[in-house]
Structure 1
Amino acid sequence: MNKAASLYLDVLRLAAALVVFIVHASYLLPGGMPALWFVSGLGGEAVTVFFVLSGFVIAHVVRTREFRAADYLASRFARLYSVVLPALLVTVVLDCAGAALAPGEYAASMEHGAWGIGASLLFANELWFAAIRPLSNTPFWSLGYEFWYYMIYAAARYVPGRRSKCIAVLVLCMICGPKILLLMPVWLFGVAAYAVTCRRRLGQPAALVLAAATTGGLYLLATSGAKAAWRELTIAALGPVAPALGPSSHVLYSCAFGLLATLHVVGMMALAPVLGRVWHACEHPVRIMSAYTFAIYLFHYPILKFFAVAIAPAGLGMLQVPVVVVATLGMIAALGSLSDRFKPVLKRSFGRGLEGLARACMRRGSDAGDAIEHGKHVTIRGGR
């Protein structure tokens, strides 16, 4: 992946993370963020973009460097847990502190208690029809989807033998349940986008038309009212089970938005070398800020909620929103830097553990084979 294409992906994922941040800041802070009203309802769309980008990036790393299952799994676990572990710890600490200051604000967040933390640690928070939140950290739901997309893709990519591969994928799908699988096509759109950009490069005129048309299409779709209307169609079609689908009840809209976003990525990847000359001046700050996208996504909600509660008695008036936003972003930057240092340690630990497990399995398989061969030998001798 060339530098210009990589920079475009960084811009896109940073924009998606900031949209989610703005949506929740508008909801949690008194008075909201009226100057940014035009993105205040696009949280679900931003997560859809994350799914597309996730599939694209995973397809890239599998093709270019993570050729073994152990490397792939170690990278995924390290990437996830380097932020998930501190994010859940911060959520527990801040929610307990916030509940002491304003119990009413946190009453609903405590519904699942310790079980919510445990289920989130195991990414079991969205299996089948579950909707378990780790205290106030509501954005965590998407990781309960994405983790299983990683695992299903790994089974399809690394498990040897067609029959074994199909069984592994089927077992993982049965564990996930319908809710997670309904949005998997959005993630697979990203995988398909990577395959298309590798095999065929659009000409710049065609790429410009595609990028412009899909930008307009995304805007029209987001402002058309289709999201609510199509959800009603889904509920009518699926009946009583539909309300239990949570975010997946928007499956029709998410797939349509995800497909347009995917085509936009395909067009922009072809234009990236041209636009890279324009973006060159902002490359350094974009690289720095985009490194915190995962941290922004997982840390922001409990921090925003706590600061909104803790600073409210100070009576800052119009200054309250900027003070809370700056304090939240500063804390995310500090926590994100610590998490990033934690990742290589986790990757080495997971790598050693997976290598040890693989060797143990191979040794057990070898011992079983030797036992079978020995049994055959004894039988033949006995027969003589």
Structure 2
Amino acid sequence: MNKEFSIYLDLVRFLASVLVVVYHSNIRAVITEKLPFSNHGHAAVIVFFILSGYVISYIAATREKTPVAYWSSRLSRFYSLAIPAVLLCPLLDMAGEALAPKFYVDATTHSFAWLRVMTSLLYLNEIWTISIMSFSNVPYWSLCYEMWYYVLFAIITFTRGKARVLLFATTVVFLGPKILVLAPLWMLGVALHRWQALGRLPEWQNWLLFLASWPAYFVFHHFDLTEYGSQILRSLIGDKWHTTAAFSKFFITDYLLALIIAANFVGFRGVAHRFAAPLLLAERPIRWLAGYTFSLYILHQPLLQFFAALFNGDPSGILFYCEVMGATVLTIGVIGAFTEHKRHHLKAWIGKVLTSLMASRWWRQGVTPALAGKAEAGR
């Protein structure tokens, strides 16, 4: 991956997280007027899925070539923030709801708190037909999809033979349709990285893909094709199953949106060198902002609702909104500095645990031959 394209992906990642924040902060109790660009939240998550597939494929091919390296990185990235987010969220919700209940009407849940904590930490909130809300932290649903895409990718990458087939099939059956129906979007990112022919396109074709992707994206949103896809699905499966589909109910037109995003990535990758000067100049701030993307994404919802309840100001003006968002962003910066930016400690610890586990006799004699498959084990 060339440096210019890497910077571009970091910029896209940060801007996508901002769009998600704008989407969730577009609350009439916080600001009366509808916020600009407040209807791009779901599209931003689709960007995350494709970008994640691309980046994971790249690092698995270059840096994380072993199961230990792969999983120590994946688990430390998620759990460095998932644990504080899952444990902090119900406390913020209870405090905020006690201060100003109006900000929590139909926006959080308290029943079976222990179950919500456990399923959230195990990423089981969205398997099959269940949809367990992680208190007020709505964005957490995407982690419960993405973690399982990591698992499926690891099975394909690090196992062989019958073990691969058995593990993959078992995981697919365990997950159910909701998570699987968006898996092609994540795998599209993998394909963009590994499909070498896309990297050999003439420059004029790359320009065409990149430039055409922008009007295509805005046409997609102008005609609200995300909601159109949802209505098509409703007409096909009925209200009950449409509701059960939860965050996957837009998948029909999500596939079209994914192709538009893919065109943007492929096109820019081929012309990234033409943007070298501005991208390299802005590299440091872009990298710094991107370093807080995950913190911003996973912490903003419960924090902005809490600060809205704490300040409980006048939503008719911009001041109240700025106060809420300012406090939210500042708090995220502090938490991120001690979690996401310190995850290397957790990564090292997980790496040691996994290394010890894989060096144990029962793993070497039982698990390793099975994962390698009969052909590999017999060599």
Q: Is the 8 A contact 2:32 2:317 kept in 1?
A: no
Distance between the aligned counterparts of 1:307 and 1:237, measured in 2? 41
SS of alignment partner, residue 360 of structure 2:
helix
Structure 2 residue aligned with 1:297: 297
Structure 2 residue aligned with 1:148: 148
Distance between the aligned counterparts of 1:159 and 1:92, measured in 2? 39
Distance 1:137 1:368, change over 3 A: closer
Distance between the aligned counterparts of 2:12 and 2:285, measured in 1? 14
Distance between the aligned counterparts of 1:352 and 1:340, measured in 2? 19
Structure 1 residue aligned with 2:213: 214
2:81 is equivalent to residue 83 of structure 1: yes
Distance between the aligned counterparts of 1:84 and 1:368, measured in 2? 30
Q: Is the 8 A contact 1:197 1:266 kept in 2?
A: no
- Once the 2 structures are TM-superposed, how far is the Cα of residue 354 of structure 1 from its aligned partner? 1.4
Distance 1:246 1:196, change over 3 A: same
Distance 1:74 1:172, change over 3 A: same
| Counterpart mapping for 1:278-293 below 5 A | 278-293=278-293
Structure 2 residue aligned with 1:260: 260
2:337 is equivalent to residue 337 of structure 1: yes
Q: Is the 8 A contact 1:207 1:268 kept in 2?
A: yes
Distance between the aligned counterparts of 2:367 and 2:79, measured in 1? 35
- Once the 2 structures are TM-superposed, how far is the Cα of residue 315 of structure 1 from its aligned partner? 9.2
| Counterpart mapping for 1:232-381 below 5 A | 232-239=231-238, 240-312=240-312, 318-360=318-360, 362=362, 365=365
Structure 2 residue aligned with 1:57: 55
Distance 1:17 1:198, change over 3 A: farther
Structure with greater helix percent? 1
SS of alignment partner, residue 312 of structure 2:
helix
Q: Deviations over 1:52-73 (max 9, x none)?
A: 0000000001100111112111
SS of alignment partner, residue 167 of structure 2:
helix
Structure 2 residue aligned with 1:179: 178
Distance between the aligned counterparts of 2:367 and 2:192, measured in 1? 44
- Once the 2 structures are TM-superposed, how far is the Cα of residue 29 of structure 1 from its aligned partner? 4.9
| Counterpart mapping for 1:193-212 below 5 A | 193-196=192-195, 200-212=199-211
**Which of 31, 38, 41 is the matching residue for 2:39?**
41
Q: Is the 8 A contact 2:213 2:264 kept in 1?
A: yes
Q: Is the 8 A contact 1:179 1:248 kept in 2?
A: yes
Distance between the aligned counterparts of 1:199 and 1:361, measured in 2? 45
Q: Deviations over 1:100-122 (max 9, x none)?
A: 21245436432452321211001
SS of alignment partner, residue 39 of structure 1:
coil
Q: Is the 8 A contact 1:112 1:135 kept in 2?
A: no
Alignment root-mean-square deviation, CA: 2.3
Distance 1:363 1:130, change over 3 A: closer
2:192 is equivalent to residue 165 of structure 1: no
Distance between the aligned counterparts of 1:324 and 1:251, measured in 2? 33
Aligned residue identity for 1:106: Y
SS of alignment partner, residue 342 of structure 1:
helix
Structure 2 residue aligned with 1:122: 122
Question: Structure 1 residues 88-97 or 143-152, which shifts more?
Answer: 88-97
Q: Which of the two has higher C-alpha Rg?
A: 1
Aligned residue identity for 1:116: R
Q: Deviations over 1:110-143 (max 9, x none)?
A: 2452321211001011111111112111110001
Q: Is the 8 A contact 2:33 2:316 kept in 1?
A: no
Q: Is the 8 A contact 1:308 1:324 kept in 2?
A: yes
Distance 1:58 1:292, change over 3 A: same
Distance between the aligned counterparts of 2:356 and 2:300, measured in 1? 37
Aligned residue identity for 2:61: R
Distance 1:342 1:280, change over 3 A: closer
Distance between the aligned counterparts of 2:214 and 2:192, measured in 1? 16
Q: Deviations over 1:324-359 (max 9, x none)?
A: 111111111111111134311211121122122212
Distance between the aligned counterparts of 2:363 and 2:42, measured in 1? 47
Distance 1:56 1:186, change over 3 A: same
> Any unmatched runs of 5+ in structure 2?
370-379
- Once the 2 structures are TM-superposed, how far is the Cα of residue 316 of structure 1 from its aligned partner? 9.8
Q: Is the 8 A contact 2:100 2:312 kept in 1?
A: no
Distance between the aligned counterparts of 1:9 and 1:323, measured in 2? 30
- Once the 2 structures are TM-superposed, how far is the Cα of residue 74 of structure 1 from its aligned partner? 1.0
Distance 1:343 1:33, change over 3 A: farther
Distance 1:276 1:112, change over 3 A: farther
> Any unmatched runs of 5+ in structure 1?
370-384
Percent sequence identity is 30
Distance between the aligned counterparts of 2:310 and 2:119, measured in 1? 28
Aligned residue identity for 1:170: A
Task: Say how many residue pairs are matched.
Answer: 366
Q: Deviations over 1:308-335 (max 9, x none)?
A: 1110158995411111111111111111
Distance 1:168 1:366, change over 3 A: closer
